[in-house]
């Protein structure tokens, strides 16, 4: 793989490209706020258009590259990501490293995104209810992971492998980004090079989001009920705010 000391362009297999900062800055109109399409635990994501007209998503990592070890780790992560190919995974186009900053470039997902899948409109949302999400976490807490497996499989799967895949998934959706595994660790997990018993999984973000949403609904409902009761009392007693001025 070519790195920042070489000329930008595609690598030997023609898939992974090293971009210059100037290219990405131009593609995102100077990382203009209107081009910002998301923000995660490790940085913001901007929509961009390359000179050839193709759309990309540029992730601006918020972690500074402050050592050679950090650069090597970054390269290793990208090597892992660039070699992962699947129809349901967004394609890694390339990266940029200039100074202490890092940028990762992906294909832009025009039709949908995970955010729309889970939080978008009813027309675009997948059938994955809050109840199903809550039950998935409950299955982990009750040490009954296989309860999460699609019943349509009718036990036609390797149980230990299913448990491993489910544990990897839970590790990757923990609310705190810094405790989620790196991609190289995920590969080791799936390759059985890491014992899953070593990992303590914390709650996924959506569990707390769901609880917060429920609390807000309860508070709003309580406030509405109080306001309604006060209005009813005022109407029945003939009392109004004008009485206070007297």
Helix (H) or strand (E) holding 186: helix 183-190
Dihedral Cα 131, 136, 138, 139, nearest 10 deg: 140
Paired with 184 in beta bridges are: none
47 is in an annotated binding site: no
Give which of 21, 105, 29, 31 is closest to 8, Cα–Cα.
Answer: 21
* Long-range Cβ pairs for the range 88-95 (8 Å, 24+): 90/57, 92/16, 93/16, 93/17, 93/56, 94/16, 94/17, 94/18, 94/19, 95/16, 95/18, 95/19
Whether the Cβ atoms of residue 46 and residue 37 lie closer than 8 Å to each other:
yes
Gap between the Cα atoms of 79 and 81, Å rounded: 6
Angle at 77 between CA 76 and CA 80, to 5 degrees: 90
Whether the Cβ atoms of residue 23 and residue 8 lie closer than 8 Å to each other:
yes
Whether the Cβ atoms of residue 48 and residue 124 lie closer than 8 Å to each other:
no
Helix (H) or strand (E) holding 58: strand 55-61
Residues ≥6 apart with Cβ < 8 Å to 15: 82
Binding-site residues: 59
Binding-site residues for ATP: 59
């Amino acid at each position: 793989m070519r790195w920042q000391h070489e000329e930008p362009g595609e690598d030997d297999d023609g898939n992974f490209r090293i971009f210059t900062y100037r290219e990405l800055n131009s593609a995102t109109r100077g990382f203009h706020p209107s081009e910002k399409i998301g923000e995660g635990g490790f940085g913001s994501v901007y929509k961009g258009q390359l000179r050839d007209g193709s759309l990309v998503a540029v992730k601006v990592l918020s972690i500074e590259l402050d050592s050679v070890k950090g650069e090597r780790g970054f390269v290793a992560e990208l090597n892992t990501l660039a070699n992962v190919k699947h129809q349901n995974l967004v394609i890694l186009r390339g990266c940029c490293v200039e100074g202490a900053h890092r940028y990762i470039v992906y294909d832009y997902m025009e039709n949908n995104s995970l955010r729309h899948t889970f939080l978008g409109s009813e027309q675009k949302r997948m059938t994955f209810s809050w109840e199903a999400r809550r039950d998935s976490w409950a299955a982990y807490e009750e040490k009954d992971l296989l309860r999460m497996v699609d019943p349509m499989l009718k036990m036609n799967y390797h149980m230990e492998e299913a448990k491993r895949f489910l544990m990897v998934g839970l590790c990757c959706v923990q609310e705190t980004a810094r405790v989620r595994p790196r991609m190289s660790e995920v590969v080791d997990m799936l390759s059985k090079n890491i014992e899953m018993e070593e990992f303590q999984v914390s709650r996924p973000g959506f569990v707390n989001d769901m609880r917060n949403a429920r609390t807000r609904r309860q508070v709003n409902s309580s406030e509405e009920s109080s306001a309604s009761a006060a209005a009813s009392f005022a109407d029945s007693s003939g009392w109004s705010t004008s009485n206070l001025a007297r």
